[in-house]
Amino acid sequence: MTWTVHTCLITLAILCVWQAEVAETCRCSRRHPQEQFCSADMVLKATIDGKLRVGITMHGNFSAFGYVKRLKTFKGTCAQIDEIHTASSSARCGVRLSTNTEYLLSGSVSGNRMNVYLCDWVMLWDKLTDSQREGVVYNYEQGCGCKFTYCSTAPCTASSSAECLWGEEATEIKLFGKSTEGYTCTMKSDKSCAWCKNGEENCIDRKDV
């Protein structure tokens, strides 16, 4: 094989990969932050040590990876991870992470690495609301046995008592008479679920709409 032919084949391969990435679009279903917390293997407050580097996985996909410094672990305390991985482009649900910046990171764990994507709960730590911080630190695990259902309109029917309905503020006001902002989906002693504050002391009931 001549040098020219070899170069053309390499160029063609790169173009094919680029076109495949452009054709892909990252699509995420609507999920409540507490649901994202519950579905994650690990949730932590962390910074990234050093710029993310791009490599190729064993399956031939481009991946960005770097070293993570844990500041506080809220879920998955037994996992021993030292690397963070994501897709190399936002089209493939990759996230952009900067160094010397504190993040809330949630994702799956594989070996010594944590995998995070756009569909996971990834936020700048200082952008979290007070209720989200309180939920991450203290309350969110109380509802991890509940089902979260997004309602685009009201009326909206729960399939069981162990379910927390949520939606945009206008929809929630129709469902509950108020927004669930500041409330935590909580599994109560009777195994039913509701949006509550302070355990089971202050819960909001669904209205008949």
Residues 6+ positions from 134 with CB-CB distance below 8 Å: none
Annotated binding residues for Zn(2+): 26
Is 114 within 8 Å of 107 (Cβ atoms)? yes
CA separation (Å) from 176 to 9, 39, 116, 157, 185? Answer: 61, 25, 33, 12, 13
The answer to whether 171 touches 151, Cβ cutoff 8 Å, is: yes
Write down the number of H helices and E strands in the chain: 4, 11
Hey, what's the torsion of the CAs at 103, 111, 34, 44, to 10 degrees? -30
Phi/psi at 19 (nearest 5 deg)? -65, -35
Residue positions in the annotated binding site?
26
In whole angstroms, what is the distance from residue 157 CA to residue 43 CA? 31
**Residue for token pair 């509950």:** 176
**By the 8 A CB rule, do 187 and 142 touch?**
yes
